[in-house]
Amino acid sequence: MKKAILSFLLIFTLILTGCVNTKSDVEEKSSGSGGSGDSSQPEIEILGMSSNEEDMNIVRDQLVKNGFKVKLNVQPDYGSYKAQQDAGNFDVAISSWTTVTGNPDYAVRSLFISGGDYSIMADEDVDALIDEASTQTPEEYAATYKELEQALVFDKAYIAPLYSSYKTQALNKDLLKPDSVRLSKSRSLAWETIDFQDEAKRSTDPLILSQAISTLTSLDPIKGNDGSINMLNSNMYVRLVNLTDDDKVTADGSLSHNFSIAEGNSEYYFLLRDDINFAKITDKEAVDTGEMVGAEDVIFSLDRAKNKDSVPDHRTYSLHEHIEKAEVVTDLSELEKIKQSGSDESVRAALEEGLDNEITELVDNNDAVDNGAGKYQVVKMTTTEPFPQVLNYLAHQSAGIVSKKQVEAINTYDVDKFDVNKDIPYGDQNTITEGAQYDNTLYASGPYILSHKNDYEAVFYKNPGYMTGTENEPKIENINVRFIADVDSSLSALRNGETHILYNVPENKYDTVEKDDKLQLQSMESNAVSYLLFNTEGREVSKSEDLRKAVLYSINQDEIIDYYQGNKIKAVSTVSPLVNTGNELKADADKAKEFLEKYQSGN
Amino acid sequence: MSTPKQSFMKKYALKATSEYAQANFTLVTSAALTFIFLIAGIDFSQMAVKPVLFSVFIAYAFFTLIQAFITYKVKRDLNQEGEIQRSTRAWGYVQLLSILTGNIFTASFAISLIKKRKTPQYIFAQFMVMAQVFVIAVSALNLFKPYVADTFLTGMFALIAILVFQLIVLFLIVKEKQQPNTPKWKLTVGMMLLLISFTGNLFALALGLFMLLEVFSSNQSTIDKWYNIWEKIAGNMTSMLGMFFIVFIFSISVCSYWTFDYDMAIENNYAAILQSPSLAYPLGTDNFGRDLFSRIIFGARISLIVGVLSTLIPFVIGGILGAISGYYGKRTDNILMRLLDILYAIPGILLAIVIIAAFGSNTVTLIIALSVGSIPTYARTMRANVLMLSNMEYVISARALGSSNLSIIFKQIVPNSMAPMIVKATLTIGGAVIATSSLSYLGLGIEPHIPEWGNILKVGSAYLESHSYLAIYPGLAIIGLVLSFNFLGDGLRDALDPKLD
């Protein structure tokens, strides 16, 4: 009996050994590129937030497979991530950037120029290329940005690009007309076009949106540039120009009838509309103040936008540093004399294009304006140097037009002696938060005005004096913005009908949205790029270009795109979504190995 | 003619016979499993059957029917005869075959049904063999993978050889007659059993230890005392099932060093992302194309190590502090206990989060973080025991004989106050496993790519709707392990509590 079992076992094992592949058999065949676990492997510390855990894991896996040792530094939120980054506790940091203005200069200036807002590097070649490209027109700058990418990524390897993302939103198509909900590459969601399927609901039912952050930085447009207020301020303040869904500068839905760039690319003319009034909140109702949004307000807004000292905590002046001055033009003949940039026609011709009534007179005073009778206001803006991309910055929410009268009446404090405990600046979120401090002093020039908010939601009303009778008049009377911190909860809220639109659907939930009959998923390429930022101080990677390049060529973007099931796009730098430079980063294990050996032999 | 005693036995046979209660329990759990496989085996959207799962359902249904039949026979026997007939017990051999379907409930019932006089050795040996079969079967699933670990074949061969040896031991135990002298083979076999328990099969360890105790101990009362404890545990089916699952998990995580490939669990494979369960990936793959089955097996290692160590550390520290505090009393007691009260006032999970935030997240800090918070509860339990025991006559007599304080504490008091501590420990291991997983789930535990049950569950939670298996399997593993420790703790309490005698 025992013998039988034994012999059976023996035969069994013999058969097994014959047909089972062991790991070393398999690896011999593919002559694996993985580094053996010797102690000379360089260690790379990856810093990231727990929300980027997937990216960190992919990078970790790719680095390990290319012979690195990897240490993860996972931080729970942006604050602690930033603290670790400032302390220099990383070799590479998973970083991301979204170009909200839609122009390539913004995508590189503050990130990579020496002394930029977010820049940790100093390289003369890169600086020169960024400055050169900023003065060029789109046809010219493609080549310059290609050179910049070559220097930034391939020659010096200051960053290692990962991917560029899609921008997605999901909406309840049973309730809303899908065509009325815009999805724009850079621009925030425009509320005035959104409409219910059942138009009778416009005045009875609120449109319910959601956003993650409930603490609003400031409702003064120049004092914030973050996720808490971008969408809100964009819809509360009108601008001189807007961006189309594919990031072209347009006058549609803006304060201007038309705009024109004068030859030399340093002077910009805007022909203002007369059918937008400021709205204010009285007894939790939106009221038309009867005060027109005029040239005076435009000049005031642009002056304070570029002036660092116009308000305490000015967070957006660097976007507007190219503005030299803004002024009213009253001499109609000036417009006729000056030619448009790149054309033989006069600026006047550009400004008059498509107008119902030709310009007969240019006026200064708001009271004298009457577009119907041909009396218009024109604002001329001059830049410090030729800089066509300035229009993109004017389309950003921080260039929103505020009321000169109202802001000056509220901001009576001395900027140098501003006391956060005593002085209440215009746009302070406490003034619109329900409670003892509630005192809504907002003057909105945009389609909607914020009435009041609490931790649960913010309530907006339609501006009754906003382009009435035109196609840009807001359709829905009330809009509520719910504050839901967790993206999974916001998706649940959308699915059970609690909210109507969800901005930024995570990749792994596309299926869920698509399977839901009442939801529609809209998606387009965005300006968001994720990349690895190399430390520039005190680490091996900051000293050795070879080590950085070894990391660079270990990154395999195809695998990342596979992981996201095709819902990511290849990128080379932060300008990739904006300019087609033709560059591509190809993963190359041999190159990675070569650079790694070079680095190791240099030690 | 039946004597009054016999008729009494007959009258209460149903209630007095453990087999009947066990048969019912087994029937219910087996039916529940069958039902689960029935639901899983039918594709309701197309009203079609899934061949693999449906055949599993049929196998389970078959043995559930046998179980129903056995239960009926047991009931009839007990009502008519007052005891279970040999013919009914013979059905146990048929039911034993159900181990091939992996139905541990029917198989373990079959074990207890076959023999009328069940020695704890017999039951332990049976469970030892079953655990081994399970480990081999689960490890053998790796054969369907594209490749196996280099040591896989050696490991499997060793495991099978050990199984053969265990079957021989089982045979010897079944054939063992009651006799005054301990048979000579027990020494060798006991040693061998200790040796093979390095595979993590703790049933073998227990069995081996008991055999050596029989060989070496001259004191019959010691043997009887242990025999009684083992007998009580062995007679408690739920606690044996709990122990079985713990031993199985422990053993597979030890054996996984040889039979599983770690790279399968941590290396991303973008060609196999989010695949449904198949033979190559028995539990499917996760969002990085890693094999969920391997990840859960390797995750067991960390969950068990952290769970056991973070129970052991406060057990020792809290135990010593409690013993000192209870024995010396007065000021010592006051100072120690008030300090511990302060610690007790801080919520455990909050303290753990603070410690991890301060010292970074890795396995060592995790263990420390989870340990510190539960020191006071152990100290309190120990102190209460010591306070009660230190006034006992034997302690007073030891003191009168001039023993030193230390020797009284560690020789007289501590050994006698162990029982409640052990019970408490088994009950809190489950809590520690959950705490580990919760911390990982919150992103505060072990690095996200390391397989740990909380980490795996966290990934799964994002795919609850589209790929629910990613959350269900690690969830089941956590539930199973925690429940097993609780069952085992219950059984140990019954076995160790002198008041229940």
Q: Where are the domains of chain A?
A: 23-165+526-601, 176-495
For residue A48, the cross-strand partners are A74
Answer with the one of B195, B223, B258 that is the final residue of a domain: B258
Q: Residues B237, B293: one domain? A: no
At A346, phi and psi to the nearest 5? -80, 165
User: What is the tens place of the pLDDT at every residue in A513-541?
Assistant: 998 999 999 999 888 999 999 998 888 88
CB-based contact B449 A57, cutoff 8 Å:
yes
Chain B contact set for A23 (CB, 8 A): 147-150, 261, 263
Average pLDDT for B408-435: 83
CB-based contact B152 A58, cutoff 8 Å:
no
Q: How far is B335 from chain A (nearest CA, A)?
A: 38
Is the confidence at residue B290, as pLDDT, over 50?
A: yes
Residues B457/B461/B464/B468 CA torsion (nearest 10 deg): -10
CB-based contact A57 B268, cutoff 8 Å:
yes
Q: Residues B132, B242: one domain? A: yes
Q: How far is B150 from chain A (nearest CA, A)?
A: 5
Q: How far is B133 from chain A (nearest CA, A)?
A: 15
Candidates A179, A164, A194; CA nearest to A583 is A164
Which of B148, B288, B466 is facing A563, going by the closest CB pair?
B288
Could you tell me the two tokens for A437?
């401090």
Q: What is the pLDDT of residue A271?
A: 93
Q: Residues B110, B133: one domain? A: no
Could you tell me the two tokens for B307?
């769970």
Q: What is the pLDDT of residue B391?
A: 82
How far is CA A404 from its chain centroid? 28
Pairing mode, if any, of strands A361-362 and A375-376?
A: parallel
How many structural domains does chain B have?
Answer: 3
Interface of A with B in 545-584 (CB under 8 A): 559, 562-563, 565
Q: Is B461 exposed, middle or buried (0-12, 13-18, 19+ CB in 10 A)?
A: middle
CB-based contact A16 B443, cutoff 8 Å:
no
Q: Residues B242, B342: one domain? A: no
Is residue A238 classed as helix, strand or coil in its secondary structure?
A: coil
Residues 6+ apart with CB under 8 A from B361: A74, B444, B445, B446, B447
Cα A394 to Cα A411: distance, rounded to the nearest angstrom: 23
CB-based contact A13 B157, cutoff 8 Å:
yes
Which of B147, B157, B361 is facing A22, going by the closest CB pair?
B147
Q: What is the pLDDT of residue B45?
A: 75
Q: Residues B290, B366: one domain? A: yes
Q: How far is A445 from chain B (nearest CA, A)?
A: 41
Cα A351 to Cα A340: distance, rounded to the nearest angstrom: 10
Q: What is the pLDDT of residue B178?
A: 64
Q: What is the pLDDT of residue A181?
A: 92
Cα A64 to Cα A55: distance, rounded to the nearest angstrom: 14
Give the helix/strand (H/E) hosting B71. helix B51-80
Q: Residues B365, B461: one domain? A: yes
Average pLDDT for B351-368: 84
Q: What is the pLDDT of residue A33?
A: 44
Residues of chain A with pLDDT under 50: 31-37
Question: In this structure, what CATH number is given to the domain that contains residue B322?
Answer: 1.10.3720.10
Chain B contact for A512 (CB, 8 A cutoff)? yes
- Which band of pLDDT confidence, cut at 50, 70 and 90, is reported for residue B6? low
Chain A contact set for B267 (CB, 8 A): 61, 65
Chain A contact for B263 (CB, 8 A cutoff)? yes
CB–CB of B485/B426 below 8 Å? yes
Interface of B with A in 148-167 (CB under 8 A): 148-150, 152-153, 156-157, 160-161, 164
Could you tell me the two tokens for A202?
């416009």
Q: What is the pLDDT of residue A582?
A: 86
Interface of B with A in 420-449 (CB under 8 A): 443-444, 447-449
Residues 6+ apart with CB under 8 A from A578: A99, A102, A103, A104, A107, A247, A527
Domain A23-165+526-601 part of CATH 2.40.50.140 = no
Answer with the one of B67, B95, B116 that is the final residue of a domain: B116
Is B331 among the domain residues? yes
Q: Residues B267, B387: one domain? A: yes
Cα A532 to Cα A55: distance, rounded to the nearest angstrom: 10
Q: Residues B366, B433: one domain? A: yes
Answer with the one of B231, B258, B285 that is the final residue of a domain: B258
Chain B contact for A496 (CB, 8 A cutoff)? no
The DSSP code for A435 is: S
Q: What is the pLDDT of residue B363?
A: 83
Q: What is the pLDDT of residue A389?
A: 85
Candidates A31, A39, A102, A562; CA nearest to A319 is A102
CB–CB of B441/B454 below 8 Å? yes
CB-based contact B443 A57, cutoff 8 Å:
no
Which CATH number is A176-495's, of 3.40.190.10, 3.90.850.10, 3.30.420.40, 1.20.1250.20? Answer: 3.40.190.10
Q: Residues B321, B350: one domain? A: yes
Q: How far is A21 from chain B (nearest CA, A)?
A: 5
Chain A contact set for B139 (CB, 8 A): none
Residue type, B43: D
Pairing mode, if any, of strands A159-172 and A242-243?
A: unpaired
Q: What is the pLDDT of residue B10?
A: 66
Interface of B with A in 209-248 (CB under 8 A): none
Residue B204 domain boundaries: 120-258
User: What is the tens place of the pLDDT at every residue in A374-386?
Assistant: 899 999 999 998 8
**Other residues' Cβ atoms within 10 Å of the Cβ of residue B349:** 16
Q: Residues B344, B452: one domain? A: yes
ipTM associated with this complex: 0.75
Q: Residues B248, B395: one domain? A: no
Chain B contact set for A61 (CB, 8 A): 266-268, 288, 449
Could you tell me the two tokens for B363?
């396995």
At B438, phi and psi to the nearest 5? -65, -45
Residues 6+ apart with CB under 8 A from B12: none
Same topology, domains A23-165+526-601 and A176-495? Answer is yes
Is B501 among the domain residues? no
Q: Residues B26, B45: one domain? A: yes
Q: What pTM was estimated for this model as a whole?
A: 0.80
CA torsion sign, A52 to A54 to A58 to A63? positive
Cα B383 to Cα B120: distance, rounded to the nearest angstrom: 33
End-to-end CA distance of chain A: 66
